Amino acid sequence: MTTYLAPYLSFRDGAFDAMQHYQRVFGGELTRATFADYGMAEDPAEADKTMHSQLVTPTGWRLMGADTPSSMEHTPGGFSVSLSGEAEDAEHLHHCWDGLAEGGEVQEKLDVAPWGDEFGMLTDRFGVHWMVNIAGAPATDG
């Protein structure tokens, strides 16, 4: 059996748009089920909202998301998603950063931090908070 930890993003509306954006940024396979697919649409106007979606990336990351029906309380945000990698992952993580920053707001530019890694923080255009950390190159004996 394989276990994993996956962030689950909650939206009032627009989960599928957000998940498609993340698929463009990270790649991978995106699956989606609507409330109508499972006969769970209490309000016919919400039948096409996303009941559950999952993105599995080529690197093995899993990101899940759903819309919250109007009959339920919605609590957005309140957490950050952290992407971290080694120096050899820098190109990939910079690509991810650029995609997430598109239309979003950068709180801290992706740059070398006091601890030697590249680090940045942003809120994407969907209101999700992200931190990216790229480990600095290992020290060499000189």
Provide CATH 3.10.180.10 ranges for the chain.
8-67, 80-134
Query: Pick from 108, 32, 112: which is nearest to 64 by CA?
Result: 32
pTM summary value: 0.77
Strands of 105-112's sheet in order across: 80-85, 129-134, 118-123, 105-112
Res 41: pLDDT: 86
Question: Is residue 90 within a helix (H) or strand (E), and if so which, with residue range?
Answer: helix 90-101
CATH 3.40.50.300 applies to domain 8-67: no
pLDDT digits (tens, 9 = 90+) for 47-77: 999 999 999 999 999 999 999 888 888 776 6
Q: Which residues of the chain have pLDDT under 70?
A: 1-3, 76-79, 137-142
Which CATH number is 80-134's, of 3.40.50.300, 3.40.50.720, 3.30.1360.30, 3.10.180.10?
3.10.180.10
Phi, psi dihedral angles at 11 (to 5 degrees): -125, 150
Q: Which tokens belong to 26?
A: 């990270």
Res 67: pLDDT: 92
